[in-house]
Structure 1
Amino acid sequence: MGAFQSKSSDNEMNKKDFLKVDGDKITLRGEEVILKGTAIGGWMNMENFITGYTGHEHQLREALKDVLGEEKYEYFFEKFLEYFFGEDDAKFFASLGLNCIRIPVNYHHFEDDMNPRVFKKEGLKHLDRVVDICAKYGIYTIIDLHAAPGGQNFDWHSDNATHKASFYDHKDFQDRTVIIWEHLARHYKDNTWVAGYNPLNEPTDEKQIRIVQFYDRIEKAIRAIDDNHILFLDTFSADFSHFGKPLPNSVYAPHDYSNYGFPSTPELYTGTKEQIQIHKDAFKRKTEYMRIHKSPIWIGEFGPVYQNAHDGIPNWEKVNDTRFDVLNLQLDIYDKARASWSIWVYKDIGFQGMVYAGEETAYVKLLWNLFQKSKKLAANKWGADDKYTKELFKPIEEWLSTNAPSINQRYPAKGGVNDSWSVKGHLSRLIKNILLSEELVKEFAEYFRNKSKDDLNELAKSFHFKNCTQRTRLNEILKADSKRSEKKSEAISEK
Structure 2
Amino acid sequence: MRNLKTVRLLIITLSVALLSGCKIPQPPTNNNTKSQVDVPATTNPMIHTKGTLIVDGNNNPIKLRGVLLEGWLMWNGTLWGAGLTSETKIANRLEKMAGKEQTETFRTAIYNNFITEKDIELIANFGFNVVRVPFNHTIFEDANPLENYKARGWYYLDNLLKWCEKHKVYVILDFHSVPGGQGAFVSDPDLINVWFSATNQQQTIDIWKAIAKRYANKNIIAGYDLINEPDAPTGKALVDFHRRIITEIRKVDSSHMIILEGGNFSSDFTMYTEALDSNMAYGFHTYNFFTNDTNLSNLQKLTKLAKSQNIPLLNGEFGAHNATWIKEEIELFEDPQNQVNGWIFWPWKRVSENNERYRHLAEISKNEDWKKVTEGIAALFGPSKDITPEIATRAMAKFIESSKAENLILDQEISVILKKYLKNN
* TM category, shorter: 0.7 to 0.9
Q: What TM-score results when the alignment is normalised by the length of structure 2?
A: 0.79
Secondary structure, aligned partner of 1:231: strand
Q: Does 1:300 align with 2:316?
A: yes
Change (3 A) 1:111 1:243: same
- In structure 2, the residue matched to 1:236 is 263
Which of 285, 288, 302 does residue 304 from structure 2 map onto?
Answer: 288
The residue type paired with residue 25 of structure 1 is: L
- Contact between 1:15 and 1:228, CA under 8 Å: does it hold in 2? no
Matches of residues 51-90 of structure 1 in structure 2 within 5 Å?
A: 51-53=80-82, 55-90=85-120
- In structure 2, the residue matched to 1:365 is 368
How far the C-alpha of 1:67 sits from its partner, in A, is 4.5
Change (3 A) 1:182 1:477: same
**Could you list the per-position Cα deviations for residues 56-81 of structure 1 after superposition, in whole angstroms to 9, with x for gaps in the alignment?**
21122233345444543332222222
- In structure 2, the residue matched to 1:20 is 48
How far the C-alpha of 1:450 sits from its partner, in A, is 2.8
Deviates more, 1:191-200 or 1:127-136: 127-136
* Matches of 1:156 and 1:131, distance apart in 2: 29
Deviates more, 1:329-338 or 1:197-206: 329-338
- Contact between 1:233 and 1:252, CA under 8 Å: does it hold in 2? yes
* Matches of 2:176 and 2:273, distance apart in 1: 24
Change (3 A) 1:198 1:288: same
Give the root-mean-square deviation of aligned CA atoms: 2.8
Which of 396, 401, 410 does residue 461 from structure 1 map onto?
Answer: 401
In structure 1, the gaps of 5 or more residues are 1-13, 270-274, 306-322, 380-435, 488-495
The residue type paired with residue 190 of structure 1 is: N
Change (3 A) 1:369 1:458: closer
Q: Does 1:185 align with 2:212?
A: yes
Change (3 A) 1:455 1:342: closer
How far the C-alpha of 1:452 sits from its partner, in A, is 9.4
Q: What TM-score results when the alignment is normalised by the length of structure 1?
A: 0.69
- Contact between 2:52 and 2:312, CA under 8 Å: does it hold in 1? yes
In structure 2, the gaps of 5 or more residues are 1-41, 354-358
Which of 125, 135, 144 does residue 95 from structure 1 map onto?
Answer: 125
* Matches of 2:349 and 2:236, distance apart in 1: 35
The residue type paired with residue 106 of structure 2 is: F
Q: Identical aligned pairs, as a percentage?
A: 24
How far the C-alpha of 1:150 sits from its partner, in A, is 1.5
* Matches of 1:452 and 1:234, distance apart in 2: 38
- In structure 1, the residue matched to 2:356 is none
How far the C-alpha of 1:355 sits from its partner, in A, is 0.6
- Contact between 1:90 and 1:134, CA under 8 Å: does it hold in 2? yes
How far the C-alpha of 1:369 sits from its partner, in A, is 4.6
Which of 31, 49, 53 does residue 78 from structure 2 map onto?
Answer: 49
* Matches of 1:446 and 1:191, distance apart in 2: 49
* Matches of 2:144 and 2:97, distance apart in 1: 24
**Could you list the per-position Cα deviations for residues 455-492 of structure 1 after superposition, in whole angstroms to 9, with x for gaps in the alignment?**
75443111001222111111111111225xx89xxxxx
Which of 414, 418, 422 does residue 478 from structure 1 map onto?
Answer: 418
Q: Which has the higher helix share?
A: 1
**Could you list the per-position Cα deviations for residues 183-229 of structure 1 after superposition, in whole angstroms to 9, with x for gaps in the alignment?**
11111111110111111001111221111001111001001011111
* Matches of 1:125 and 1:233, distance apart in 2: 26
